[in-house]
Structure 1
Amino acid sequence: MTVFVGDEELTTALLDRLAHHATVITTKGKSYRMRKRRDPEASTTAVTPTKPPPRAAPRS
């Protein structure tokens, strides 16, 4: 499926530009969203990461 019906090239270009400056955060464990879906009373307290994420390379 494409965002712009029938224009796969435009959709690919749009997604590429959106993802270019994105910060990807990788988490481990079960999804908080799915846990809340199963148990609406589930805790929503923040979890402190065990190590900081890697720094991004400077942009030129």
Structure 2
Amino acid sequence: MILQFDEITGETLNGWWLRFDTQKVFISQSIGNIDEMKRTIEVPNWLAIKQGLESYEA
């Protein structure tokens, strides 16, 4: 699932902290592919559902 995020609020060696409206979520680099220019991230469907992010689908 491709999700639209508002901003990258932090970055570690393991992943990114992303802001979706008022919600901050950590996405591991091992399971997410980010496009900083488009502000989208591709994640498995199960992760988007588990994090409650399916409404941010791009």
TM-score bin, normalised by smaller chain: under 0.3
Give the TM-score, by structure 1 length: 0.21
* Bigger radius of gyration: 1
RCO (CA 8 Å, sep 6+): is it higher in 1 or 2?
2
TM-score between both structures, scaled by the size of structure 2: 0.22
Q: Comparing both structures, which one devotes a greater share of its residues to helix?
A: 1
